[in-house]
């Protein structure tokens, strides 16, 4: 049985009461697990498999495929997104989508894991802002060892060249954390 410190980055419903969970781990890279009975009330995984939760997991490796059997989950830190602000949830979703796209199953991902862990930790206590999203993209380029930091190239263009496309969730994350422009009160028009 393998053990890992992990962050849940994707959940896919599989059968009536089961989930496929995609984790980013510090030591095993991206890991897919099947959590049988995860949606059953009172089951062993009840309340432990929400997105962006940080946990210690134990899984049994599959002999034939890339989906392993999840055996244990010990929750370390839940994610409530600073009072469940939509902007924080949107930013965390974008970070998870981007990390999912640039990592491979079983690959080395220590720096990427540490970056995602810091980003999720930030979103637990601070409201997201466009600056946080741009910072994450720049740090991800650094962690992946891509881009020319001396030339100050835009990280989003570097990531797009690296992985082919940027997740669509980026636009909604930026929109959610950008404050709307203040409206002028009626009768206060410029002449």
Query: Between 109 and 97, where is the model more confident?
Result: 97
Q: Which of 77, 105, 136 is the last residue of a domain?
A: 77
Question: 122: pLDDT confidence band, cut at 50, 70 and 90?
Answer: very high
Would you say 44 and 19 are in contact if contact means Cβ atoms under 8 Å apart?
no
Residues 45 and 102 in one domain: no
Residue 97 confidence (pLDDT): 96
Question: Is the residue at 63 inside a domain?
Answer: yes
Residues 87 and 173 in one domain: yes
Residues 10 and 58 in one domain: yes
Question: Is the residue at 153 inside a domain?
Answer: yes
Question: 191: pLDDT confidence band, cut at 50, 70 and 90?
Answer: very low
Q: Which of 29, 61, 77 is the last residue of a domain?
A: 77
The CATH number of residue 70's host domain is 2.40.50.140
Q: Judge whether residue 171 has pLDDT over 80.
A: yes
Cα 96 to the chain's mean position, in Å?
2
Residues 85 and 169 in one domain: yes
Residues 6 and 48 in one domain: yes
Question: Is the residue at 185 inside a domain?
Answer: no
Residues 10 and 73 in one domain: yes
Question: 98: pLDDT confidence band, cut at 50, 70 and 90?
Answer: very high
Q: Judge whether residue 48 has pLDDT over 50.
A: yes
Residues 164 and 88 in one domain: yes
Question: What does DSSP say about strands 29-35 and 18-25: parallel, antiparallel, or unpaired?
Answer: antiparallel
Q: Which of 51, 77, 103 is the last residue of a domain?
A: 77
Residue 160 confidence (pLDDT): 86
For 15, the domain range is 2-77
Give dist(CA 144, CA 103) in Å, integer.
9
Question: Is the residue at 13 inside a domain?
Answer: yes
Q: Judge whether residue 179 has pLDDT over 90.
A: no
Residues 58 and 92 in one domain: no
Residues 41 and 87 in one domain: no
Residues 93 and 154 in one domain: yes
Give dist(CA 23, CA 183) in Å, integer.
43
Residues 101 and 160 in one domain: yes
Query: Between 150 and 99, where is the model more confident?
Result: 99
Would you say 25 and 113 are in contact if contact means Cβ atoms under 8 Å apart?
yes
Cα atoms in the Cβ-side hemisphere of radius 13 Å centred on 109: 27
Taking residues 114-126, report their average pLDDT: 93
Question: Is the residue at 189 inside a domain?
Answer: no
Domain count, the chain: 2
């Amino acid at each position: 049985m393998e053990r890992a410190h992990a962050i849940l980055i994707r959940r896919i419903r599989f059968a009536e009461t089961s989930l496929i969970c995609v984790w980013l781990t510090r030591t095993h890279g991206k890991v897919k697990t099947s959590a049988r009975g995860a949606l059953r009330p009172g089951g062993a995984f009840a309340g432990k498999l929400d997105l962006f939760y940080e946990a210690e997991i134990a899984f049994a490796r599959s002999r034939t495929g890339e989906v392993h059997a999840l055996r244990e989950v010990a929750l370390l830190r839940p994610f409530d997104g600073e009072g469940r602000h939509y902007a924080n949830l949107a930013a965390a979703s974008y970070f998870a989508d981007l990390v999912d796209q640039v990592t491979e199953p079983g690959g080395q991902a220590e720096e990427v894991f540490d970056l995602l862990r810091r980003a999720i930790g930030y979103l637990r206590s601070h409201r997201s802002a466009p600056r946080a999203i741009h910072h994450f993209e720049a740090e991800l380029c650094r962690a992946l060892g891509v881009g020319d930091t001396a030339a100050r190239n835009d990280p989003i263009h570097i990531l797009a060249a690296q992985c082919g496309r940027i997740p669509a969730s980026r636009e909604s994350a930026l929109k959610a954390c950008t404050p709307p422009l203040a409206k002028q009160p009626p009768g206060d028009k410029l002449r």
